[in-house]
């Protein structure tokens, strides 16, 4: 009889614990994975941009500074081109990635200037995974 009551108490206790469990769904992994895809794509593009435009001392980009903002908590890692030495200045080019596949987008006045075709071609090449420089250095 005592064993029966003990078993009943154990079963009742287990049911009580199960009833107290949270029924909230687990957070969707899509949010984390989209941030990861965006960051992964921007790391490739930003590294290639820095290497090809700045580290190579490309004359077309000597008037600009590279401002890296990959540690974005908004889910949109990005980098900026700003007037040389003026990191607080208005960006002339913003390149960012977002979404589940980390789509790379760009905007800014530099895309309507004389360098726009080259900048667009470079960004498209790098965002597709080809990190080669254009050879205009």
Q: What is the pLDDT of residues 63-75, one digit of tens each?
A: 999 999 988 777 7
DSSP class of 87 = T
Query: d(Cα 29, Cα 32) in Å, to the nearest integer?
Result: 5
Q: Is residue 67 part of a domain?
A: yes
Token reading at 68 = 């890296």
Query: d(Cα 42, Cα 78) in Å, to the nearest integer?
Result: 7
Q: Is residue 11 part of a domain?
A: no
Domain span at 89: 30-127
Quick one: what percent of the chain has pLDDT higher than 90? 56
| Span of 84-88, 91-95, 133-137 with lowest mean pLDDT | 133-137
Number of structural domains, the chain? Answer: 1
Cα atoms in the 13 Å half-sphere on the side-chain side of 121: 10
Q: Which of 7-11, 110-114, 131-135 ranks highest by mean pLDDT?
A: 110-114
Answer yes or no: is pLDDT of 38 > 80: yes
Answer yes or no: is pLDDT of 27 > 50: no
Q: How far from chain centre, in Å, is Cα 108?
A: 19
Q: Is residue 24 part of a domain?
A: no
Q: Is residue 59 part of a domain?
A: yes
Q: Is residue 10 part of a domain?
A: no
Answer positive or negative: Cα dihedral of 21, 24, 25, 31.
negative
Answer yes or no: is pLDDT of 133 > 90: yes
Query: d(Cα 111, Cα 108) in Å, to the nearest integer?
Result: 6
Q: Is residue 25 part of a domain?
A: no
pLDDT at 53: 97
pLDDT at 29: 43
């Amino acid at each position: 009889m005592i064993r029966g009551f003990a078993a009943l108490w154990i079963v009742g206790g287990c049911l009580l614990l199960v009833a107290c469990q949270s029924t909230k769904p687990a957070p969707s992994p899509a949010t984390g994975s989209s941030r990861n895809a965006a960051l992964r794509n921007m790391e490739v593009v930003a590294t290639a941009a820095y290497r090809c435009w700045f580290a190579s001392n490309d004359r077309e980009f000597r008037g600009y500074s590279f401002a890296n903002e990959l540690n974005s908590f908004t889910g949109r890692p990005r980098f900026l081109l700003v007037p040389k030495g003026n990191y607080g200045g208005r960006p002339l080019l913003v390149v960012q990635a977002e979404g589940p596949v980390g789509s790379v987008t760009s905007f800014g006045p530099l895309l309507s200037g004389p360098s726009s075709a080259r900048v667009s071609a470079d960004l498209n090449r790098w965002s597709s995974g080809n990190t080669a420089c254009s050879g205009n250095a």
